[in-house]
Structure 1
């Protein structure tokens, strides 16, 4: 009968850690890459929702606030935020906004030199949809 020694258990633990950390790093890299791609598409969806919320209305402070509120609700549903200072409704109905999101990672958030790589910010300008 073989008994597991402390030395053998330590080796097994070290082997698991040595293989898990690089694997988690690769997974985090994929998560950040996907979040960067998805954030631009989601920002266009948010901006289009804001533009559609005030389509056909004259540009006033109230319509701009209505558009921002719609953008904020839509962005929160997608796990992001819209920067109020970078939100603009143009006279022709276009909307320009900056959407911010943090990619959910396991390793990158723990390492100070990689932490800023998880913060994603995208600025888009869209026209209101012609349909609907």
Structure 2
């Protein structure tokens, strides 16, 4: 086998190996993101649940969004403002986006999109956070 063929074979093996590693990274990020985003949703739902307003106001919504962003930011997840909704029962629906750490995908333009992970969840307040005692709100 010539030296060129050996080098070409090594390059192909390296590319296959990097693709497998990057695929594993994307898989692990995809599996971890819902749990991390759920925690951000719990923080937002707690803000809404503890507000003194009978119906969530824009001030409450902004505070809840900021709480979700702060928690999600700890995990490099961006919570999208356009995909953040508060429902009357204090449930929060939010979408988070993150990019899996990759070795190869981030350097190849047509593969970059494969590293993006987007998750949408609806999160109800935890029982400990839903101690709403306000008049005018049914629980």
Question: What TM-score do the two structures reach when normalised by structure 2?
Answer: 0.80
**Aligned counterparts of 1:91 and 1:117: Cα–Cα separation in 2:** 36
**Aligned counterparts of 1:102 and 1:65: Cα–Cα separation in 2:** 25
Q: CA deviation at 1:61?
A: 0.9
Number of positions where the alignment pairs a residue of Structure 1 with one of Structure 2: 125
Paired residue for 1:79?
Answer: 76
Question: What TM-score do the two structures reach when normalised by structure 1?
Answer: 0.84
Q: How does 1:1-132 map to 2 (within 5 A)?
A: 14=8, 16-57=10-51, 58=53, 59-131=56-128
Q: CA deviation at 1:112?
A: 3.1
Higher helix proportion: 1
Q: CA deviation at 1:17?
A: 2.8
Q: CA deviation at 1:117?
A: 1.1
User: Is the radius of gyration larger for structure 1 or structure 2?
Assistant: 1
Q: Deviations over 1:74-131 (max 9, x none)?
A: 1111111000011111121110111001111111122333221111111100100002
SS at match of 1:54: helix
* Deviating more after overlay: 92-101 vs 45-54: 45-54
Q: CA deviation at 1:19?
A: 2.6
**Aligned counterparts of 1:68 and 1:55: Cα–Cα separation in 2:** 13
The answer for unaligned runs of 5 or more in structure 2 is: 130-139
